[in-house]
Structure 1
């Protein structure tokens, strides 16, 4: 029996919406998310929504076999979270004028289409019914209350915390500021698979969720394939990243603009349009990679930092003692501020050769004494936006804990 004309038109509109979303710049580099969206919307529009279970999607979209166990492999759940973020990004930008909207509610994989109808005309303001005398009295009382609260605040409010790099960074930036924590799953996959096989994974592959270059060989032991799937399907970070994120939140006065994001959940557009704080080096946080070419203190994996502009008698390479897996002894970290990828915001980069040296960089960014020393060395002020600069830091680790970081060198970065 043919569909009624109105329902058939509605189906065509929703299918056209899905096509526009999949062909949009937002979804241009996310092949797997496009396939995910196309599959679940096709089944839903064909009246087969009951098939959209986690196991069914894993087999038909993510090529999982009969051995798929949802408890051990979160690929569908993590992809659904990423898809929700991408859909929000689309409807906040190029899709803001769409007449239809599609969402994937949390706890379900069945897409929901809603028509964006015009809001009903507003009702007359309630204040119109209030007498002029009452409104005047209310305004006077509110002014008196505000004056009282201001007086009490000035008398009892705690003194403002001293400035640090983080506090000044937040004071001179606007909009939401994500704290991007490292992707330990990626670092583990590189160590276990890519490094052994001589395969590399760059930012482009990371953005597209393309881990095929690190997939174990067909003749690899089953345990390797299992480990690969577990790491690919789970977002892991290090406890040190979370501790540092908490420290930044506290140093920023619990600024509501701050939000903590796993590196795998960040979209390129966010980093081009907003200021952000990135924790980690390019090995564990690929979003740090595009900034390395702008810095004079270059990260050397497992070694330390290279100084591209050493002074007379200064070393060109600052090496850690031992190797990067032994987190004790002397090591080096880096603290830097640069324009973001679009030049319309800033990025605060906190990196190290290992976890301890990155923590040292984070502690330096929240230390008022380090900020005072940077002001003295670089001639910068708390009252103006931070200029682009970088500082090489030295720290001594005892029992996997960084001691007080010291500035080895600092310099402004000229365009």
Structure 2
């Protein structure tokens, strides 16, 4: 296929989109969009498939099976939402609209007319400027069936089935596929990859979250290590509850969001080798050397409990939702709330993420705790770690000029988003952490 000749105004519209704050604050989504647009302009539309996107953008091995990994499909859904956000806000005066049809991978550019974001009028038929891809999503969305009247057991079973759809880690190392590139790390990540220290990203344990949902209990680190939390449950009364307990305690899975955040950090750290591990695979010795990033709060990544009591901002379950989490402010300063609670406001979801950076057990490296009370705030926490703009803001807040001068600290980020996609991120509270003896 020959190169696509775009008019100057069309190229300018695409450039403004790709360079917009809406897109650049989501590097993964921006990378996917840039790949799709470049492929069309270069005349490679017939080469674009779910598999080619996975290989080119996400570092998947050549010939991998997209049916076993839905990262591309999930990311495309987020990208469509992000495009709608752009044309409602920054791009509300754009004369062209970029769209990606559901189930397809090639975008098309159309004049802004009725029916598009910000127009406020019904849709009108518009011929596409860019050709649509022929490829469709090969995997239909899963469906769940249930019976009414079985109470919490059915609710627990549905949760188990839902979580079973999440990304399964199975001790997979993403490293070889995602280490392409040689760019220097930016943001706080610079601190974790200098001097050749090993960096490990520990994903969340989605099975532990299922346990919380089903049995309404938190799991201490001691009981997580020796698995006594499983033995403490009464004997299962039937096959359904026995299966729920087995799933919620016996496999090593993580959420798709956690896996994406880990892979994003890994790619941003290239060429430094970053290991991605599941909490089940760790021991106390792992926290005595090197650098660690723990994703999720202390109740879905229990190793965070080693450091939680040193922090002012702590993730705790609210009384009315033992499977959820809020951020407790133990010593509020003037103008600060006592708790940071997720909420809805003006059509937006407001959630929070607590990021803490402090020494490991032997003070030979750093541990970063990314504790979130939603998936979108966890994703925002990952973006915070690799953003140079956020680092510059952090240095200003603590009145230092370099990473070497930055004390151990914790910050709370407020994340405003739409449809589970993180949008505006800002720091709403901060503390320096007092050195331990």
Shorter chain as denominator, the TM-score bin is: 0.5 to 0.7
Structure 2: gaps of 5 or more residues: 1-169, 172-180, 318-323
Question: Is 1:275 the equivalent of 2:291?
Answer: yes
* Residues 1:183 and 2:227 are matched in the alignment: no
Q: How far 1:311 moved relative to its partner?
A: 2.1
Q: 1:69-108 to 2 correspondence within 5 Å?
A: none
SS in structure 2 at match of 1:211: helix
Which whole-Å CA distance do the structure 2 matches of 1:186 and 1:219 have between them? 18
User: Quick one: distance in 1 between partners of 2:394 and 2:275?
Assistant: 26
CA deviation string 1:4-38 (max 9, x = no partner): xxxxxxxxxxxxxxxxxxxxxxxxxxxxxxxxxxx
Residue of structure 2 equivalent to 1:232: 249
Greater helix share, 1 or 2? 1
CA distance in structure 2 between the partners assigned to 1:350 and 1:246 by the alignment = 15
| Counterpart contact for 1:387–1:412, Cα < 8 Å | yes
Q: Is the 8 A contact 1:361 1:405 kept in 2?
A: no
What CA distance in whole angstroms lies between the structure 1 residues aligned with 2:399 and 2:334?
23
Quick one: structure 1 residues 249 and 380, their matched pair in 2 at CA, closer, same or farther if it must change by over 3 Å?
Answer: farther
Contact (CA 8 Å) 2:297, 2:304: kept in 1 or not? yes
Q: Distance in 2 between matches of 1:214 and 1:385?
A: 47
Please report the RMSD computed on the Cα atoms of aligned residues, expressed in angstroms: 2.8
Structure with higher Rg: it is: 1
Q: Secondary structure at the match of 2:310?
A: coil
CA contact (8 A) 2:201 2:277 kept: yes
* Residues 328 and 400, structure 1, Cα contact 8 Å, conserved in 2: no
* Number of residue pairs the alignment of both structures matches: 251
Matches within 5 A, 1:41-120: none
State the secondary structure of the residue aligned to 1:371: helix
Distance 1:288 1:220, change over 3 A: same
Map residues 325-344 of structure 1 onto 2, 5 A cutoff: 329-344=349-364
Q: 2:263 aligns with which of 246, 259, 265?
A: 246
1:331 aligns to what SS in structure 2?
strand
1:2-401 correspondence runs (5 A): 161=184, 163-171=186-194, 174-193=196-215, 195=216, 199-213=217-231, 215=233, 217-218=234-235, 220-256=237-273, 258-301=274-317, 302-321=324-343, 329-382=349-402, 384=404, 386-401=406-421
Instruction: Tell me the CA shift for residue 295 of structure 1.
Output: 1.0
Cα deviation for residue 328 of structure 1 reads 6.4
User: Which SS does the other structure have where 1:403 is aligned?
Assistant: strand
In the TM superposition, structure 1's runs of 4+ consecutive aligned residues that sit over 3 Å from their partners are: 158-162, 380-383
Q: Distance in 1 between matches of 2:236 and 2:203?
A: 34
CA distance in 1, matches of 2:207, 2:182: 42
Q: Does 1:412 align with 2:432?
A: yes
2-structure distance, mates of 1:292, 1:179: 18
- TM-score normalised over the length of structure 2: 0.53
Deviation at 1:159, TM superposition (A): 9.8
CA contact (8 A) 1:201 1:213 kept: no
Paired position in structure 2 for 1:115:
none
Displacement of 1:293: 0.8
Give the distance between the partners of 1:381 and 1:276, measured in 2 at CA: 24
Q: TM-score, normalised by structure 1?
A: 0.56
Alpha-carbon separation, structure 2, partners of 1:259 and 1:328: 35
Quick check: 2:395–2:406 contact (8 Å CA) kept in 1? Answer: no
What is the deviation of 1:310?
2.2
1:302-342 CA-to-partner distances (Å, cap 9, x unmatched) read 352122232223322221116xxxx9600111111011123
Distance 2:251 2:409 in 1: 35
